[in-house]
Amino acid sequence: MKQLLMIGNGMAGIRCIEEILKRNKDRFEITIIGDEPHPNYNRIMLSNVLQGKANMNEIIMNEWSWYRENGITLYTGEKAVQINKNKKYVTTDKQRTIYYDELIIATGSSAFILPIPGSELEGVIGFRTMKDTETMIEMAKTKSKAVVIGGGLLGLEAARGLIDQGMEVHVVHLLSTLMDQQLDAPAARLLKKDLEKQGMKFLMEKQTSEILGTEHVEGLKFSDGTTIECDLVVMAVGIRPNIALANEAGLEVNRAIIVDDVMRTSAPSIYAVGECAEHNGIAYGLVAPLYEQGVALADYLVGNPTEGYKGSLLSTQLKVSGCDLFSAGQILENDDTDAIVVHDTAAKVYKKVLVKENKIVGIVLYGDTSDGNRLFSMMKKETDISEFTTASILQKAGEGDNASLVAEMPAEETVCGCNGVTKGNIVQAILEQGLTTYEDVKKCTKAGGSCGKCKPVVEDILAHTLGDSFDAAAQTTGMCECTSLSRDEVVEQIKEKGLQSPVEVRYVLEFSNPEGCSKCRPALNYYMRMLYPETYEDDKASRFVNERMEGNIQNNGTFSVIPRMYGGTTTADELIRMGEVAKKYEVPLVKVTGASRIGLYGVKKEDLPQVWQDLGMSSGYAYSKSLRNVKSCVGSRFCRFGTQDSLGLGIRLEQELEMVDTPHKMKMGVTGCPRNCAEVLTKDYGVVCVENGYQLYVGGNGGTEVRECDLLTTVRTEDEVVLFAKAYMQYYRETGVYGERTAPWVERLGVTHIRKVLLDETRRNELVEKFDQARATYEEAWSKMSKTDNKKIYEVTRK
Helix/strand/coil for 338: strand
Q: What is the pLDDT of residue 790?
A: 47
- Are 624 and 543 a contacting pair, CB within 8 Å? no
Q: Can you give the pLDDT at residue 621?
A: 86
**In angstroms, rounded to a whole number, what is the distance separating the alpha carbons of residues 440 and 446?**
10
- Nearest CA to 749 among 763, 759, 737, 739? 737
Burial class (CB within 10 angstroms; exposed 0-12, middle 13-18, buried 19+) of 775? middle
How far apart are alpha carbons 715 and 695 in whole angstroms? 7
Q: What is the dihedral of CA 7, 9, 12, 15, to 10 degrees?
A: 110
Contact criterion met (CB below 8 Å) for 327 and 182: yes
In terms of DSSP H, where are the helices of 353-415? 372-381, 390-394, 399-408
Separation between Cα atoms, residue 80 and residue 257, nearest integer Å? 16
Beta strand 666-671 pairing with 627-632: parallel
pLDDT at res. 729: 95
DSSP annotation of 494: H
CA dist 380 → 278, 329, 361, 409, 575 (Å): 22, 10, 9, 10, 57
The pLDDT score that the predictor gives to residue 791 is 44
pLDDT at 552: 81
Look at residue 451 in the predicted model and tell me its pLDDT.
62
CA pair distance 328, 347, nearest whole angstrom: 22
Q: How far is CA 59 from CA 14, 49, 53, 316, in A?
A: 14, 8, 11, 20
Measured CA to CA, the distance from residue 8 to residue 104 in angstroms comes to 8
Q: Do residues 39 and 9 lie in contact, with contact meaning Cβ atoms separated by under 8 Å? A: yes
Amino acid at 193: K
Task: Calculate ∠ Cα 98-100-104, nearest 5°.
Answer: 105
Chain center to CA of 546: 22
pTM value? 0.62
Instruction: Give per-residue pLDDT as tens, 759-794.
Output: 999 999 999 999 999 999 988 888 877 665 444 444
For 648-666, b/e burial (b = at least 16 CB within 10 A) is bbbbbbbebbbbbbbbbbb
Beta-strand ranges (E) seen in 214-337 are: 217-222, 227-229, 232-235, 239-241, 257-259, 270-272, 277-279, 315-317, 325-329
What's the CA gap between 81 and 91, in Å, rounded?
6
Which of the residues in the chain have pLDDT under 50?
Answer: 396-400, 473, 476, 789-796
Helix H, strand E, coil C: the string for 54-99 is CCHHHHECCCHHHHHHCCCEEEECCCEEEEECCCCEEEECCCCEEE
The predicted structure's pLDDT at residue 799:
52
Which conformational region is residue 313 in: left (phi greater than 0), alpha (psi within -120 to 50 degrees), or beta?
Answer: beta
pLDDT given at position 148: 97
Distance CA 343, CA 364 (A): 11
Q: What is the DSSP letter of 133?
A: H
Q: Which of 482, 422, 618, 347 shows the shortest CA–CA distance to 15?
A: 422
Rounded Cα distance, 500 and 101, in Å: 54
Residue 231 phi, psi (nearest 5): -125, 10
